[in-house]
Structure 1
């Protein structure tokens, strides 16, 4: 269940990042895919890095997934932009 929440919130985070940084947007599908991947990674990293100090339960899962999705979408967009030059 936690992984599903991370992936869903990752997709939302990726699309929020695309809306906030329109010049870096990958399009709805690209933002969602990068966000899903980032959500899964971000949720696991948050738990691994913070251990017992990580926010407990769904709140921590949601935070890790959303932030991870946004961050990975931005990283992919910046790499894509740099390669296009």
Structure 2
């Protein structure tokens, strides 16, 4: 399997990675810290946390960001999740 075939068969994975990078980068801008790999990991974990909060009904968005930005709701939810991940990890880590 070559790279282009993998991308064509898994477009959601590519969107999730880009979404995680954006969410991690935004969390890094808002709370400090960063680095490409750290931002990616925080963003991907934040996407899972944010998605869980939405599915559990604990997080609702007041606006429909998808009408302004493609995948806007996903980016906002992932960024909120990434912010929570950073805050909790700093609290548990003692920083």
RMSD: 3.4
Deviation at 1:45, TM superposition (A): 7.3
Q: 1:2: how far off?
A: 3.9
Size of the alignment, in residue pairs? 77
The residue aligned with 2:38 is 30
Q: TM-score, normalised by structure 1?
A: 0.57
Counterpart residue number, 1:39: 47
Structure 1 runs (4+) deviating above 6 angstroms are 43-47
Gaps of 5+ in 2: 1-10
- Judged with a 3 Å threshold, the aligned counterparts in structure 2 of structure 1 residues 41 and 77 are, in CA distance, closer, same or farther, namely closer
Provide the residue aligned with 1:67 in structure 2: 76
Q: Distance in 1 between matches of 2:72 and 2:50?
A: 9
Q: Higher RCO, 1 or 2 (CA under 8 Å, sep at least 6)?
A: 1
Q: Which has the higher helix share?
A: 1
Conserved? CA contact 1:10–1:67, under 8 Å: no
What TM-score comes out, normalization by structure 2 length? 0.53
Unaligned runs of 5+ in 1: none
Q: Tell me: CA distance 1:76–1:42, structure 2 relative to 1, closer, same or farther (3 Å).
A: closer
